A and B are shown apart, each in its own frame.
Chain A
Amino acid sequence: MIFTRFCGAFAFAATLAMPTFAEITRPECIAPANPGGGFDLTCRIAQTGLEPQLGTAMEVSFMPGGIGAVAYSLFNTTRTDDGSAIVAFSTGSLLNIATGKYGEFDENDVRWLATAGADFGAVIVRADSPYQNLGELMAEFAADPASVVVGAGGSVGSQDWMKAALLLRGAGGDPRAMRYVAFDGGGDAIAALLGGSIGVYTGDMGEMTPHLEAGTMRVLASMSAERLDGIFADIPTAAEQGFDVEWTIMRGFYMGGSVSDEDYNAWVDAFEAAYATPEFAAVQTEKGLLPLNIAGDDLTAAINENMALLRTIATEAGLIN
């Protein structure tokens, strides 16, 4: 009995009465990063959102290192058949797979489980910026790619850079000719935008929630296929403004490649049961994500399609040969 974790036991006792998918014992969600970031958030969605289905609050643990590479290689080497653990991923992880940063392993080496939700790229300027709409900014890019300083929270080859590169490509410019500044995370990039060091920030819609009402920044375009709801309803998409630039940040979970079908299906069922409840949608909204619910084989298919696109862009930019 010593080995039963105190907190696990507590949570278990509290939820004993709920219907459970008894197959999954001691479920664990691994956030392949330090606490407090996007992967942490992804795991928290599963932790809260799946609690009724699993009958217990799953443990969230952290495995930082190599922007997810450490976790990815661990689940491809030692924990390949761990049926009780799921690992958070995002489109950024897929991009790292596409550019070979995860080493020898690719997208066919793990089992893609389910999504936690989505976020979309956003083109953001300061409230007093001369650019009122995406068209004005794109005209500037087309005339001289180096005339506007673009900044974001990631290095060349990261998601944030990809958004900027797609934007330049949409304007008919060469992404390599722009002025791009890589910051250490979205927070620093927002600070630089507010402080006037950079002119445009290619961030995410979700992180704009608290800033929209404050009116310090303006979102020129959402990089989604369709307009978003709620407070984002007034923000036009890039496509509406005549530019075909889309960027969806998918957040979800994968499992080791050798996990048994039985375990895998138990998880897929748990997710699909959760997707059907209003509570799960509420958790998604609370954590600042937009609904995007795909699980099982559908997700695997979607990811394979996604990977092809990512590889094309990365090759064009010269990041892979």
Chain B
Amino acid sequence: MADRLFAGFLLIVTLAYAYIAWTIIQAPFQYDPLGPESWPRILAGAAVPCILYILWRPDDEPFAVAKYTWFRLALMVALLFAYAELYEPLGFIISTILFGTIVALTLGAPRSGALAFGIGMGVFGYLLCVTLMGLNLPDGEIVEAALQILQGGSE
């Protein structure tokens, strides 16, 4: 069943892909006989029979994911998106402390351990990457604004 659903999804995407290849993609002129559209057409043409075969004969292995597992996976994905969203505004240190602590907690780490892990990753991760390896991690818009106010105040 899961196989069929996924194949159905792929079929829709592939048909859209093929539609674009047959209608939209074209060059004002080209030096090779294939042009930009032939290769995507070939790929779509090869993918459709494969998908149809899976629709016709899906694997019979059950797709066993319990409701609770779905919930936990969705939570993880939501946390990842939140982490990505807050990466620049909050900066590496704060966003990593939040993300590390929360994820560790949801996965069953003891409270103090999770907090120590989050803070350790945020602070030491930043120090290690930025000062030792010279990588470019976000300081955070909020942090920069706060620092500016602090500096402005001391002048």
> A residues bordering B, Cβ < 8 Å?
2-3, 5-7, 61, 156, 176, 178-181, 317-319
Contact = CB atoms under 8 A, between A and B. Distances in A.
Contacts of A3: 139, 143, 147
Interface stretch (B22-30, B57-65, B72-80, B111-119): B22-30
A318 B28 contact: yes
A181 B130 contact: no
A217 to B, nearest CB: 23
Contacts of B30: 156
Nearest to A62: B136
Contacts of B29: 156, 176, 318
B134 interface: yes
B13 interface: no
A176 B139 CA distance: 51
Contacts, number: 27
Contact of A6 (B27, B126, B134): B134
13 contacts: A2-B126, A2-B127, A3-B139, A5-B131, A5-B134, A6-B130, A156-B27, A156-B28, A156-B30, A156-B31, A178-B31, A181-B31, A318-B28
A61 B136 contact: yes
A7 B134 contact: yes
B28 A319 contact: yes
A2 B125 CA distance: 13
Nearest to B132: A6
A20 B70 CA distance: 59
A176 B131 CA distance: 54
A178 B29 CA distance: 11
Contacts of A180: 31
Interface string B117-155: 000000000110011001010010001000100000000
A181 B31 CA distance: 8
Contacts of A176: 29
A177 to B, nearest CB: 10
Nearest to A6: B131
Contacts of B139: 3
User: Which of A3, A61, A180, A319 has the most CB atoms of chain B within a 10 A radius of its CB?
Assistant: A3
Contacts of B143: 3
